[in-house]
Structure 1
Amino acid sequence: MKLHFQVDLLAITPDSEKLIEEAGRTCYLSFGKITKDSEKKFIKMLIKSGHHSVLEHAYATFRIKGGSRAFTHQLVRHRLCAFSQQSQRYVSEKEFSFITPPSIQKKPEALKLFNETMETLKKSYQKLQELGIKNEDARFVLPNAVKSEIVISANLREWRYILQLRCAPDAQWEIRGICNEILKILKKKAPTVFEDLDMAPDPI
């Protein structure tokens, strides 16, 4: 399936895995065991033993463009995060773009109905604006399919939790696709922390 979204890593704690080791070894006062690559074995031990709180010392921030409001409604349920999202109160949606689910794309009759509905809602939104209705009230006619933009920051423990849930085979297709992209990036930036997490294949 062609990706309709863009995932960008804005920031990650520098030397995040070494920081996790430095913090974790405080518990044991075992700083003398730190070597060039000792964080790998140490982090694996932390994860295996369930001592995941140490992972909270490192953070990662992502910007996600082009996901639907249906996607962001799911994402913001993860409360141990910081979110900043495109506002439908301050940003006009008079020419909004939208996401069409693959299941609808596959059926011509459903696709025709969907596109007609999107066009009707867009015209209704524009008409409300022409009637002097503010964006904050005109937005009540907008669909979950509207594209949005969001920035999310979370510590690496929370990212593990999010990705374990949202990269699973039974996760909704859009959030799974986006989280798969996030996991690909984190596997490169903090490989030991995320090496045991898998990405479900896209069934669409």
Structure 2
Amino acid sequence: MSIKVKLIEYTPNPEKVIASAAKLCYSAVGIDEIQENLEDEKTAKFLNMLMSYGHESPIEHVSFTFAIEGVSRSLTHQLVRHRIASFSQQSQRYVRLDQFKYIVPPEIENNEEAKKIFIEAMNKDQEAYDKLTEILKSKYLKDGMKKLQAEKKAIEDARYVFPNACETKIIVTMNARSLMNFFKHRCCNRAQWEIRSLAEEMLKQVKQVAPILFKYAGPSCVNDKCPEGKMTCGKMQEIREKYLNLK
């Protein structure tokens, strides 16, 4: 299944908020007067200057919330390493998965023999989950538990057989500075393919609502030399052009 990303909420007028916050640092007047003079053209000009200086603390004042589906637990294990963020993920402890969905890596999808082995493994995991759930549920019912409580406690342990490929859903909120850092690491060609696909789609969507703010967002090589040393993909110019023109 394919990744589904939706920007469901963000700080209204994010670029004006950032410009106001940054201007306040250097202004003798109050916020009302600053905002009265912040026309769209002035906001754009100031924000471009701000981003070129690398003055990043004002961009923490705006945040973006994404609803994400069709991703694996393998991806979310990487995603939650970005600690300056808020996460709400579908629980395998409370949600019984009678037929769990899973993510098939492209290299396996395109190899008939590998795909056959992979799908067989997924089917066995589901079978084991179902059997474990019923065995444990039956035991808890005999112990006097109510039906709903018995099932919840059963799937709590049965879920341990699920693979990293298991599909999950998650809502993520990050401020703009954290997002910039996320894009820097996860849009890189050396990032794992699935989280790179997610990062690219998230970047496309925030560029629609804050084009100046995210004008130079992407992997490190968009604004500077590649930091990967001998591990570089060697495609810096190609990658830079891709992200500068990303829509």
Shorter-chain TM-score range: over 0.9
Q: In the alignment, does 2:25 pair up with 1:5? A: no
Q: Deviations over 1:138-158 (max 9, x none)?
A: 111000001000000011111
> What's 1:14 paired with?
12
Instruction: From 63, 68, 84, give the equivalent of 1:59.
Output: 63
> What's 1:146 paired with?
166
Q: What is the rounded CA distance, in whole Å, between the counterparts of 1:77 and 1:157 in structure 2?
A: 15
> What's 2:155 paired with?
135
Q: What is the rounded CA distance, in whole Å, between the counterparts of 1:35 and 1:190 in structure 2?
A: 15
1:159-170 matches, within 5 Å, as 159-170=179-190
Q: Cα distance, 1:193 vs. partner?
A: 0.9
RMSD between superposed Cα atoms in Å? 1.6
SS at match of 1:131: helix
Task: State how many pairs are aligned.
Answer: 199
> What's 2:204 paired with?
184
SS at match of 1:83: strand
Q: Cα distance, 1:44 vs. partner?
A: 2.0
Contact 2:70 2:169 survives alignment (8 Å): yes
Q: Deviations over 1:70-98 (max 9, x none)?
A: 11111111000000000010001221010
1:44-193 matches, within 5 Å, as 44-133=48-137, 134-193=154-213
Q: Cα distance, 1:160 vs. partner?
A: 0.9
Mean Cα deviation higher: 174-183 or 127-136? 127-136
% same residue: 42
Q: Which amino acid aligns with 1:66?
A: G
More helix by share: 2
Contact 2:62 2:176 survives alignment (8 Å): yes
- TM-score normalised by length of structure 1: 0.92
Q: Cα distance, 1:198 vs. partner?
A: 4.2
Q: What is the rounded CA distance, in whole Å, between the counterparts of 1:180 and 1:116 in structure 2?
A: 31
Mean Cα deviation higher: 61-70 or 132-141? 132-141
Higher RCO (C-alpha under 8 Å, 6+ residues apart): 1
Gaps of 5+ in 2: 29-33, 138-153, 220-238, 243-247
Q: Cα distance, 1:166 vs. partner?
A: 0.9
Q: What is the rounded CA distance, in whole Å, between the counterparts of 1:163 and 1:9 in structure 2?
A: 15
Mean Cα deviation higher: 192-201 or 89-98? 192-201
Q: Cα distance, 1:132 vs. partner?
A: 2.0
Q: Cα distance, 1:54 vs. partner?
A: 0.3
Q: Deviations over 1:119-140 (max 9, x none)?
A: 0010000000110251111111
- TM-score normalised by length of structure 2: 0.77
Gaps of 5+ in 1: none
Q: Which amino acid aligns with 1:7?
A: V
